[in-house]
Amino acid sequence: MSNIYTETDLLQKEQACPGPAGEGLACEPWPETEVIGSRRPRVDGYERVSGSAVYPSDVVLPGMLYAAVLHCPHANARVKRIDAGRAKKVPGCKALLTGNSPEAGIKWPYADNFEGPLFVSHSRYEGEIVAAAAASSPDEAVDVLRRIEVEYEVLPSVSDERQAQDKEAVKVHPEGNLVSPVQEYQRGDVDQGFSRADVVIEESYRTRALLHTPIELHGCVASWDGERLSIWESTQGVYAVQDTVAKVLNMPKSRVRVIGHYLGGGFGSKLETSKYSIIASILARKTARPVKLFHSREQTFLAMGNRPASTMTLKIGATREGRLTAIEFTGLGASGAYPAGGTSLLDWLAKDMYLCPNCRTSLTDVFINAGPARPFRAPGYPQGSWAVEQAMDALAEKLDLDPIELRLKNFASSSQGREGNPAYTTNGLKECLSRGAEVFGWKEARQRTAQQDKQSRVRQGVGLAAGNWFIGGGRPPSTVLVKLFEDGSVNLNMGASDIGTGTKTIMALIVAEELQVEPDAVQIEHADTGTTQYASASGGSKTVPTEGPAVREAALHLKRQLLSMAAEALKQPLDRLVLKGDSILVQGSPEKRIKVVDLAGLKEQRVIVGIGHKPPNPENKAVTPFGAQFCEVEVDTWTGEVSVLRFVAAHESGRVMDRLTFDSQVIGGVTMGVGLGMTEFRVLDSGGTGKLCNRNWHDYKLPTMLDCPSEIISVAVDLPDQGANITGAKGLGEPVTVPTAAAIANAVYNAVGVRVTETPINPVFLIDKIHLK
């Protein structure tokens, strides 16, 4: 059914747009939709699969030079001497930068209130940049670096967050290894809560560090035109890069243009600006030629972020009926060599997911001699889920309850972890659990695994885990323009990056829904600080709930202008006009109509512009997506090998905007969760060097098709969230990877009775545990 409003409808709605689309124009979520929620291919799908999409790493400019960086090969070392004399004589060498170069005398913001030199004299992790060169070709740039002579004083290092707490541990910084004061939280009386519990469980858990390793490497192309700097960067937020570059180079933002139309993966590692943007800009200025600087794969492993290792202890008490009485959580994480939020949101599921009046958490973030952490798809959450969801299953077993039943008994209707305990705008956890269980065949599968021969070599097991995500409602500011040209074509202008998640497609669907056009007819301009409107970086599942409402508001603003023009042309009151297809017609008299392209006002103005903004999130409400995932595994008790057979992932993220994109996100999230639970972990040499041992795709085991289940079923719990925003949609990209690893661990326990508390589920470790059992 078409989504048609009369002007009377628009004027009578209680909720009005706060921005330019206001003036009585309705902004409540759609009652019914025509294109929103359908299964639509990507609007840029052809460009992506045909190779015609131009990624930043594809950019080639006339006269362009190629740069490379020299990184410190030690986990902790001082630069005693650096000599670039031989390097300058290499054929093709055009420019060199070291800590002694005048151009390098600028400060780099390693973190808030934590600045240092661009080229360090004390390298605190393997991978810190000590020099850079620009040459005529990539190979020549590397040859130049090989001839730079650097003398290091190699120092002892610490590579494990647990050892970093010891008094005798190597100090990463003179002040010690504590990044910030211990972060503590408490509600209720935890000790009394445990005293009232009939059952108490306590266990320690650990997740190993993971690396982002997106397909497109980290880097950029920098080019000057007089005093204006243009940067083509593989980034999740062009305005974030503009902010940092302008600040570091002491330039007006108006003279820094950042372009990032396509991105070959980021997963959070490209949310922040890196030194290569500054180095490329300096080299381009020094040589008066464009400079391309992209890190090698090894350098991205070393320096471009990680999901930090986490050590957690969780204690939970409950009555014999299954009501939680107390939760105590302690977490330890490592920022790396510089402050980077090593324990960010690690305790959130413990203090927020399930109803419990008494809760205490404590988080300790420490420095180690390793690359700084960066946000990694739902930072802190998959680690916390690994502990919380396994503990909930262990508690259910002690209470002789079905794991679903225990979770439902402790259903929370409000966000306990937030100040003021705000109610959720929607909480679809019950629906996720019930519908997911139905599709999975949970009861039948549990019965089947309970009846299998416990002496058989190969055993099956099933498990589940649930989760939510903190940032479900997006975050302002965001400004969007929608333009209608006199020929009826439509342009959408927004600053948001499409990081491969289908952002452009969903925004085109919103415009199509309001203006009655085909999504493919919406021409999109995005992610360019020189031509598009402001948007914060795309990350944390904020793009759809942030840009979506702004896009819809802009489309409504434009539609109101059209209706006003038609009222004058048709000599009809506004309350009788509707937009349908390519015409505006009089309700009740469909023969009285005028095509949009025939409106005199449109012909006169040539272009009509609608403006939209993201309003603040609702006050005293928590906008939060939820999900539950179900897993079946097969375990070979002779070898410890685990095969993930199937997954059912049920997720509620408000309104489903595009079902094809929704399902793709779910499949990708499960796949990444398999990596955490089954295959991925960073190895730092514990023998004294602290060097990274698995620095390539051969040694760092990303999950492949053989590791992932052949069947991943996405169950879309479509509950338009009336209180979240005017599209009714919440974030999806993060929550779909939160419960995956824990669901696998619970399924392994169901199969062989062994609780794996440290990631990944390693065959060698598992076989030892099975035999000990």
Do the strands 183-187 and 359-367 form a parallel or antiparallel pair, or are they unpaired? antiparallel
Backbone angles phi, psi at 484, to 5 degrees: -115, 125
Peptide bond into 41 cis (omega under 30): no
Backbone angles phi, psi at 419, to 5 degrees: -65, 130
Taking residue 362's Cβ as centre, other Cβ atoms within 10 Å add up to 17
For the residues of 61-82, what is the DSSP string, one character each? -TT-EEEEEEE-SSSSEEEEEE
Q: Is 746 helix (H, G, I), strand (E, B) or coil?
A: helix
Burial class (CB in 10 A: 0-12, 13-18, 19+), 479: buried
Active centre residues (catalytic): 734
Say if CB 263 and CB 216 are below 8 A apart: yes
Q: Residue 713: which residues within 8 A CB-CB, separation 6 or more?
A: 439, 440, 646, 647, 648, 649
Taking residue 361's Cβ as centre, other Cβ atoms within 10 Å add up to 24
Q: Is 474 helix (H, G, I), strand (E, B) or coil?
A: coil
Backbone angles phi, psi at 609, to 5 degrees: -115, 130
Measured distance between the N- and C-terminal CA atoms of the chain, rounded to whole angstroms: 60
Q: Is 184 helix (H, G, I), strand (E, B) or coil?
A: strand
| Six token digits for residue 155 | 């120092």
For the residues of 528-594, what is the DSSP string, one character each? BTTTS--B--S-TT-HHHHHHHHHHHHHHHHHHHHHHHHHHHHT--GGGEEEETTEEEETTEEEEEE
Cα separation of 688 and 692, whole Å? 12
Please give the single-letter amino acid code of residue 529. Answer: T
Residues across the chain: 773
Residue with tokens 């320690």: 204
Beta strand extents in 623-751 (DSSP E only): 626-636, 642-652, 711-716
| Six token digits for residue 236 | 């999740």
| Six token digits for residue 343 | 């324990």
| Six token digits for residue 109 | 């913001």
Say if CB 436 and CB 649 are below 8 A apart: yes
